[in-house]
Structure 1
Amino acid sequence: MPLDIPMYPISSRASVNILEAALKNSGKRKIDMKSPIHLLKDLTFRKKIMLCFLLVSIIPVAILGLFCYQQTKALLVSQEEANLQSSLQQAADSLDNQIQIYNNLSDYLAFDSDLNESANRIYTNYMELYDAYSKTISPLFLSMKNLHDDVERITLYSGTNMEKHGNMVIPLQDAEGEIWYEPSIQSSKINWFVPAEDIVCAVRRMPEPDSGGTAKNLLYIEIDSQKLFSSFLELSKNSCGIYLVDSNGSAVYSEIFAGLDVSEVPPLETLLDSDSSSITWNSSDYTVIQANIPSCGWDVYLYKPIHLITDAATPIVLTVAFIIMLCLILVVLIGWLLSHAVVSRIEKLQKTMQQVEGGDMGVTITSESHDEVGDLIRSFQKMLDKINALINEVYTGKLAQKEAEMRALQAQINPHFLYNSLSLINWRAIRADAPDISEMAQLLSTFYRTTLNKGKQLTSVADELKNTRSYIDIQRIMHSGQFEAIYQIEEGLGEYLMLNLLLQPLVENAIVHGLDQRPDGGGILRITAAHKKDTIVFMVEDNGVGIDPQALPNLLTQDSGGYGIKNVHERIQLYYGKEFGLTLESKLSVGTRATLTIPARRKNFESQLNQ
């Protein structure tokens, strides 16, 4: 049965406060709704279900499509690189074969005995020159040119007294300004050069009869570069660029494919500096293939923009986009049907909650389904029943609260009653001329005042030492002065803060378990306090009977039946940290020393002391 809840009137001031709070919360909500997170939270549950369906469907499809695109792209690049490598290697092998043919031609001419004899001979008349030209040099050079269509000219640069004979024989001094002169005159091998755009030449030093002499003749063979590099020209038609590089890293030939702007051509230095099969130039990626030509020591580099390779994957991207659109349409339809089936019961629960929010605590809602929504509806009804039951318990709770407040007030009154009683005893003892009773009353008053510390956890070092002194003086009176107390307190420590009631338990243990157990008198209790770096170190020493070595390690970890040194050690470590606390040293029949270490803190002394 629903409970009849009494309605109490609300004061006008309370109404204003409630209205102001509602306006503030409304303003905050409007501000928070601007963020995407709050926009998502404020969506209806139906829209959230549809959004989840969209995300769950789109994300896998998009990831799969992206994966397929990347794999296809990588496969296309890999296949194209393999094809380019094969084509470039074929072109390089073709050029290497041609260069090897010309190297063989150069060897054949350089080691021809008749040509060597004519080249190294010193002529005494023009008849001898004529015979050399007509019978040896001209027939030999012309026959070689006829056999090799690519050869433009063959020239002997003579270091003897041979006269110039067309372009077949030229004095050696005429070649001294050419770029190929110095490298060729200093080397016995065949050297290849590209002195001009359309000229490729192979130059070598002619062998001499006397191997120890200085070279005097150079054999020069010039080849048509267009015919020699024709295989690379075919490669460039496949949207590729070509660099042919000599052993010094200089380009001897280059070819740019049609459609590529000059500003988009990567410089040779970029290709040479890269160790990978791809480079980036002007925000464009290029794949790079390299092959070598061992016959002349040249390297050939082929580069091609990667986007030209991956453009073939565009149909795949369009197909994936089309599939994603179809999935979106299907997911929206399924999401709408499913959200309608799920959200209707949640909307019913929402209306019931709004009625409860409006103050109608007697509403009821039921559900026969056993899914999560059904459990939620039944849980809400149980919660509503408990709320109605708890309303009746409010007055009982308020009575208990008042009773606790009364006990707290009594706890504040009792210490004042104790202080007043001790003060009365002190006054009566003074009037009765009983100084020992007066002293005891004063000591007890000081001890309990510093022990209770007005209920505060922190106290000053000065008050802690005052508490310890009063306790020791009381014990000395009770023991009829059977032990002495020695204080060694460093000046200036009184203003530092420390936890209350740390030293008194140590002193009590020293007296009860140390000095009281001596068979004779003469007990000495020493209290030391010193400032060491950022800490304050207290030591309580006695010359009592000492502690059993087997029991000593367990004193800081086992309970002693009262407020003992284990409690002091735990309080210090809980408040200050594990690096602070107590250490114990003892020797049987000699005595015991308890060392207490805490951090030196006096910043904001007054504010901390008043907390």
Structure 2
Amino acid sequence: MIHTPFTGTQGSRKFIPFGIKLLISYMMLIIIPIFMFGYFASDIMTDSIRSNTTNTIKGTLRQIEDNVVYKLEDTVRLSDLLYYDTTLSKQLLHYEEGWVSYETTTELLLPKFRQTIESTNRSLWLTVYLRNETLPEVYYDSKNIDPLVMKGRFFDLLHLNRITEKPWYQSYPAEKYGETMRWKQIEDDSRYNRISMLRRLVDLESARLNEIGFMRISVYLSDLFQSVDYRKIGVGSTLFITDGSRNILYASGATEQSSEQLWDASNGDNYLVIRQPLPGLNWSLTAMVPSSVLEKDTQKVKLLSLVICSASCVLILLVAAFVSRTFSRRVLKVMSVLQSFRQGDFQRRIHYSGNDEFTTIASSLNELGKKTQTLIEEVYTTNLKKKEAELESLQAQINPHFLYNTLSSISRLAKFGQVEKQHQMVMNLAKFYRLSLNEGQTIIPIGKEIEQVRAYMDIQQIKYGDRVRIDYNISPEIVELNTVKLIVQPFVENVLEHAWRGDQIDIQVIGYRAGDVVHLFVADNGNGMPQETILQLFSGEGMQRVGYGIRNVHERIQLYYGKDFGVAIESEPGAGTRVHIRIPAESA
């Protein structure tokens, strides 16, 4: 038994008028807000503070990110001065012994490296490892003292064999022109709180970018991350930068905590945590703000909410009776219209005087009734057109001319005793019509659609031999996707009937998926057609059989999938034709 909410009773439950319920609700609202409003107000204020703080911190983090990225890019810029220097590349490839080698180093290489490091005012240590061992080594003898402690700029010139056995060198990725570089703490970097940018020097004139050297630019973490200062986001906060392995490279505001302690704290509920990835690197900038800092003003909000709720009790009691009566009468009108809609009468309308929420509801209900009635009519019309299109498609499937010609060919094969070809043609004909009918189903897998094309073309190739050639390039990922049937074969048939001059013709059937769209193409090198003919095919002028078939496919696709899909044709006289079919990628 179906119950309606518009009758006086519902089962055994007593009917309570809306006005009474509304009055009871108002009375409940007098008490409940006293206990609940403070809680919700506190949550709202906390969320507001969190939102404002989050936005402020994100802005600060973006500024910090910009500063860090600038210094990273400045270091990369220095390496570019060496990487893209073709003159330097040729000098490093020039093998000479004795005095010539020494002269090349002192007069050409050392000035170049010195000029490079002096193009910045930052403290850094440039080390260049050379594959050409005829060039002498030149290096700063630090004797276990960090050269960067002097706040200067230094460079060393060493042979590559010093590092070829190092794990960090052996694991360095393959070279991509101008892109391959890595930031990593190696050797004694961790000991001296440094980090190094590693990059190859390559023969720019070699197609394989052969390695001719290696460069390492070491900088202090405190210099690179100078802008990472917890005081920018508030006292008690923490800022730290981590690499892709969750190792903390640099921290501000919590230096006494270990990496694991920082990670555990950032995954807890006691902090607001904001993470900002650094572009171009697998690094993250993380900010942690204590929740206690964010929620210090919530107690004031709770007290204020109690005062507001107490005042609202008096006001609600005064207006409850009046509002309850007014609303009750208007709700009854709405219920009456809804009851009519439920019974299928969408002609019923409701009218309210004034300009308030009930006026908006009345207008919306009236518009809903009007649109629903219109939608019913449109759905009926659309379904009617779809059925007509299905009927036209079924008629187009059974091509008497094709069947007659095929049976005639079978007869000739039988007459000349070509039993094997006769057998193949009969089997392909049966397969073609079995796939065409497809037990009355309109939606089929794309794979079956292509099978039907194959069956049709197998028949034609038995008849015409090598004069008809077809190539299939169908992506395996689309064969199980669904399509409206008979959207490819009509275009293949059209090639043989209207584009073939009688000599050899080549046909291509291509299918692939791009995002949520399946693209199918039928291309030939036949007669082609002018633009005016293409426009006539889609407009229906003349209603020739070829034009009817093309329009039928185009309209059926749009009926099922919408105006964003369908058929497009590109052709020029004497240059062949290319048909493009677009359908959505829908699984079975």
Shorter-chain TM-score: what band? 0.3 to 0.5
TM-score by length of 2: 0.40
**Structure with more relative contact order (C-alpha pairs < 8 Å, separation 6 or more):** 2
Q: Rg larger in 1 or in 2?
A: 1
